[in-house]
Amino acid sequence: MDYVIQQVLNAASIGGEYALLALGLAIVFSVMGLVNFAHGEIITIAGFTMYALFIFASPTSAWWLLPIGIAAAIAAAVTFERVAFRPVRNAPATTGLLTAFGVSIVVKNFFVSVVGATRPRAVPTPDWLGSQIVIGGVHIQTLQLLEAAVTAIALIALLALLRGTNIGLAMRAAAKDFNTVRLMGIRANQVVLAAFVISGLLAGLAAVFIMARRGAVDPFMGFSPVLKAFVAAVLGGFGSLTGAVVGGLALGVAEVLFQIVLPDKIAGYRDAFVFLLVGAVLILRPQGLFGRKYQFGDKEG
């Protein structure tokens, strides 16, 4: 029983992390048709900001690193939009994707130049993030519990925002038809900004959890989780918010399952198996689980 609960929580926390990231990708994509390949670098920037703060300000408590990391993630997302993505806002999807790819390379190599590529740098996170608690005789990692809970709360908050606020409604409307949203007098820049703030915030939350688990930063740390998030988003149907969440959780479950069933000898292939599984789903449903059958990445209207 203990074991089952462990694994369920495992899947929920990993899946939650992917869902947070995939959701950020999906929001930006649905609002402005951009595939943000630099999403992983938001995590990296958050990580390095926490590192810099730790080195230069040596805060008395590691607590402070968390909100700062999240703020840095939001700032990074917004800066990317302002500097790199705005000039290509109305360009074809491929142009945006390659721009984001370029941004990702710029950021990675910036950190490589500044701190060097090879060695991860340790960053402390609050001790309680690494602790365990016992609920009804079951040992549970605080981090995992928190991760699952924060993901759930973030999702509910996002849902409330999308249903109950003008900017949320505008974002949903813009996903289908940006021009008509502008005809309501709503500023396109604000809608896009909101999308990036949300995606930055979600990535920031994920970054904090990733930092707590890794305890160190390096210039390439954002890549692997975001790659998974991409796959999750595609699995769910790229641009669908529900799809992003379901895809993320499904990926988490698949990873944990493969971890359990794969013999040690081929455990290294886990990611390959996960991706192949996703590939198999996509053969049956090319538009993903929740995707509209849209053509070639185009938005309507």
- Category of 237 on φ-ψ map: left (φ > 0), alpha (ψ -120 to 50) or beta: left
Q: Could you tell me whether strands 121-122 and 132-135 are parallel, antiparallel, or unpaired per DSSP bridges? A: unpaired
Taking CA atoms, 48 is separated from 7, 41, 44, 75, 126, in Å, by 31, 10, 6, 13, 16
In the complex, the smallest distance separating the C-beta of residue 158 from other proteins, rounded to whole angstroms, is 16
Residue 217 three-state SS: strand
In the complex, the smallest distance separating the C-beta of residue 248 from other proteins, rounded to whole angstroms, is 14
Question: What is the rounded CA–CA span in Å between residue 175 and residue 81?
Answer: 17
Nearer residue to other proteins within complex by CB, 2 or 298 = 298
Nearer residue to other proteins within complex by CB, 130 or 299 = 299
In the complex, the smallest distance separating the C-beta of residue 189 from other proteins, rounded to whole angstroms, is 9
Question: What is the rounded CA–CA span in Å between residue 296 and residue 96?
Answer: 14
* Six-digit token string for 90: 């109305």
Nearer residue to other proteins within complex by CB, 96 or 252 = 96
In the complex, the smallest distance separating the C-beta of residue 31 from other proteins, rounded to whole angstroms, is 13
- Length, in residues, of the chain: 301
Report the first-to-last Cα separation within the chain, whole angstroms.
52
In the complex, the smallest distance separating the C-beta of residue 70 from other proteins, rounded to whole angstroms, is 25
Give the containing element (helix H, strand E) for 37.
Answer: none
Nearer residue to other proteins within complex by CB, 3 or 296 = 296
Nearer residue to other proteins within complex by CB, 81 or 147 = 81
Residue pointed to by tokens 């909100």? 67
Nearer residue to other proteins within complex by CB, 229 or 249 = 229
Give the CA diameter of the chain. 60
In the complex, the smallest distance separating the C-beta of residue 294 from other proteins, rounded to whole angstroms, is 8
